[in-house]
């Protein structure tokens, strides 16, 4: 199992979809897949993961447009958990791949992740952007981690949307004001650090009497886990949230989740967020013509 954590699906050559081939994305032409944050890893190239039952029906790998961030990990974890084969197509957001027309054609919000499933509904390709919608898609497709029973599904949806509208954006802002603002702005730091603290408290309470956010392990947990792992950068102390900490440990002990969290793209590791050229791409974005 541990060995599989170093593997990522390699780039496939073509798809019949209207979706532009990934080879048109500069950084996707030859994805360099390597290195985790904690420990350097050898380049990884082997494509497939042992097919689970649902994956046996998925003969063509899903294309995952990806950069190793908490939003990206949601999808690598889910695809690993479902045993679906996938190709990783790096979207180097520090260099502007997210603005390339061929990427915008599938992800008009100029944000990764996005997927293209060559075997979508009716056997035709489908693309999906927005990580919450992407998580739901393989959930429906495989019947895994996204229950069909309406009550159980509502439980999952509530916590999934809680992550999409709350934890993710607030943790992102806390991280930004604490670590990336050109000068410290006390008001912004406090506002978002407090809000993340409140959200961690909500999660901690929720997890006091159940193992996972919606009872059973689901896409809600998969959506949240990556965002809570960088608690330090968000100005939090994990020991203040023992149920959250226990939940993190439980998820991280899952081999598939571990594999998903370990998938990195080589270029992502050395990105310097204080480099003016990186900041010019990522920050102060405004509406673009066309």
Ligand X SMILES: N[C@@H](CCC(=O)N[C@@H](CS)C(=O)NCC(=O)O)C(=O)O
The binding site for ligand X (CB under 6 A) comprises: 69, 71, 93, 98, 110-113, 130-131, 282
CB of 111 to ligand X, least distance (A): 4
Query: Which C-beta is closer to ligand X: that of 55 or that of 177?
Result: 177
Query: Which C-beta is closer to ligand X: that of 83 or that of 113?
Result: 113
CB of 136 to ligand X, least distance (A): 12
Query: Which C-beta is closer to ligand X: that of 125 or that of 132?
Result: 132
Q: Taking every pair of C-alpha atoms in the chain, what is the biggest distance, in angstroms? A: 53
Question: Hey, is 261 helix, strand or coil?
Answer: helix
CB of 113 to ligand X, least distance (A): 6
Question: In the structure encoding, which two tokens stand for residue 88, read together?
Answer: 């990783």
Cα separation, 285 vs 135, in Å, equals 26
DSSP string, 91-150: --TTTTGGGSHHHHTT-TTS-S-EEEETT-GGGS-EEEESHHHHHHHHHHHH--SS-SSH
Question: Hey, is 274 helix, strand or coil?
Answer: coil
Query: Which C-beta is closer to ligand X: that of 84 or that of 114?
Result: 114
CB of 59 to ligand X, least distance (A): 27
126: left (phi over 0), alpha (psi -120 to 50) or beta: beta
**Shortest CA distance to 129 belongs to which of 113, 144, 145, 143?**
113
Query: Which C-beta is closer to ligand X: that of 54 or that of 282?
Result: 282
Query: Which C-beta is closer to ligand X: that of 58 or that of 131?
Result: 131
CB of 205 to ligand X, least distance (A): 24
Cα separation, 270 vs 113, in Å, equals 20
What is the H or E stretch that residue 189 is in? helix 186-206
Neighbour tally for 137: CB within 10 Å: 21
């Amino acid at each position: 199992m541990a060995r599989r954590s170093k593997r990522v699906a390699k780039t496939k050559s073509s798809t019949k979809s209207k979706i532009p081939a990934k080879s048109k994305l500069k950084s996707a032409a030859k994805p360099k897949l390597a290195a985790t944050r904690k420990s350097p890893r050898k380049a990884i190239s082997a494509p497939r993961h042992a097919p689970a039952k649902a994956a046996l029906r998925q003969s063509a790998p899903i294309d995952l447009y990806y950069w190793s961030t908490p939003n990206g990990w949601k999808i690598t974890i889910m695809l690993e958990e479902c045993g679906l084969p996938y190709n990783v197509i790096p979207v180097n957001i520090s260099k502007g791949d997210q603005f390339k027309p061929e990427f915008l054609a599938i992800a008009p919000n100029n944000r990764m992740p996005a997927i293209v499933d060559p075997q979508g509904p009716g056997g035709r390709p489908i693309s999906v952007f927005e990580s919450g919608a992407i998580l739901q898609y393989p959930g429906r497709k495989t019947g895994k981690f996204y229950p069909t029973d309406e009550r159980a599904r509502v439980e999952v949806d509530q916590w999934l949307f809680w992550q999409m509208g709350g934890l993710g954006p607030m943790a992102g802002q806390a991280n930004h004001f604490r670590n990336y603002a050109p000068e410290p702005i006390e008001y912004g730091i406090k506002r978002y650090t407090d809000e993340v603290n409140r959200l961690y408290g909500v999660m901690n309470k929720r997890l006091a009497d159940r193992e996972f956010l919606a009872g059973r392990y689901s896409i809600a947990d998969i959506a949240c886990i990556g965002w809570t792992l960088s608690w330090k950068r968000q100005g939090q102390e994990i020991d203040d949230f023992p149920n959250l900490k226990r939940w993190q440990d439980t998820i991280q002990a899952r081999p598939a989740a571990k594999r998903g969290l370990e998938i990195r793209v080589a270029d992502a590791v050395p990105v310097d967020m204080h480099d003016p050229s990186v900041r010019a791409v990522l920050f102060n974005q405004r509406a673009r013509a066309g």
